[in-house]
């Protein structure tokens, strides 16, 4: 998928996380966006997308496991190309994960990043669905 297809002519909340099936990502980050999807869309968000440096098969399986349905698009950045292009990659080698994405959320309106919320290492606050919802 090209970024113009994802972001063109729409308001999109894209949130990224270090990995599918990882503890905070599975227990808090993704479920928060699934449960708040209607609230976000009620504030003018056209699409919600979850991005991780995983392959498409893993992202699909994780989406099914988390029962995201049509609430959240599950996007794989298998080679970390998008993640590196936006400068939000991190080295997870110390955890056996290699190159991964930092935890963040962005609000994109017609292809322009309007807000970017990047977490400090080991934190989960500013990229949460509740935080982003409060800023819309």
Q: pLDDT for 2-26, tens place per residue? A: 999 999 999 999 999 998 998 888 8
The pLDDT assigned to 27 comes to 87
In the residue annotation, 50 being an active-site residue is answered as no
CA distances, 14 to each of 69, 93, 94, 95, 96 (Å): 16, 24, 26, 25, 25
> Could you tell me the two tokens for 50?
């979850």
Per-residue pLDDT tens digits for 110-134:
999 999 999 998 899 999 999 999 9
Structural domains in the chain, CATH included, are 3-105+114-135 (3.40.30.10)
Least confident of 50-54, 85-89, 96-100: 96-100
Q: Predicted confidence band at 101 (pLDDT cuts at 50, 70, 90)?
A: very high
The pLDDT assigned to 95 comes to 83
User: Average pLDDT, whole number, for the chain?
Assistant: 95
Checking 62-70 for CB contacts under 8 A at 24+ apart, the result is 62/20, 62/21, 62/26, 62/30, 65/21, 65/26, 66/26, 66/30, 66/31, 66/34, 67/34, 68/30, 68/34, 69/34
Catalytic residue, candidates 13, 17, 25, 68: 25
């Amino acid at each position: 998928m090209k970024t113009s297809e994802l972001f063109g002519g729409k308001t999109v909340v894209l949130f990224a996380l270090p990995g599918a099936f990882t503890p905070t990502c599975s227990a808090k980050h993704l479920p928060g966006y699934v449960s708040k999807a209607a609230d976000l869309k009620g504030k003018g968000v056209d699409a919600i997308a979850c991005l991780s440096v995983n392959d498409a098969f893993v992202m699909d399986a994780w989406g099914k496991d988390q029962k995201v349905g049509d609430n959240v698009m599950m996007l794989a950045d298998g080679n970390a190309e998008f993640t590196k292009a936006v400068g939000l990659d991190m080295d997870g080698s110390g955890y056996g994960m290699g190159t991964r994405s930092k935890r963040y959320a962005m609000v994109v309106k017609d292809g322009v990043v309007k807000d970017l919320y990047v977490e400090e290492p080991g934190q989960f606050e500013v990229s949460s669905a509740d935080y982003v919802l409060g800023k819309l």
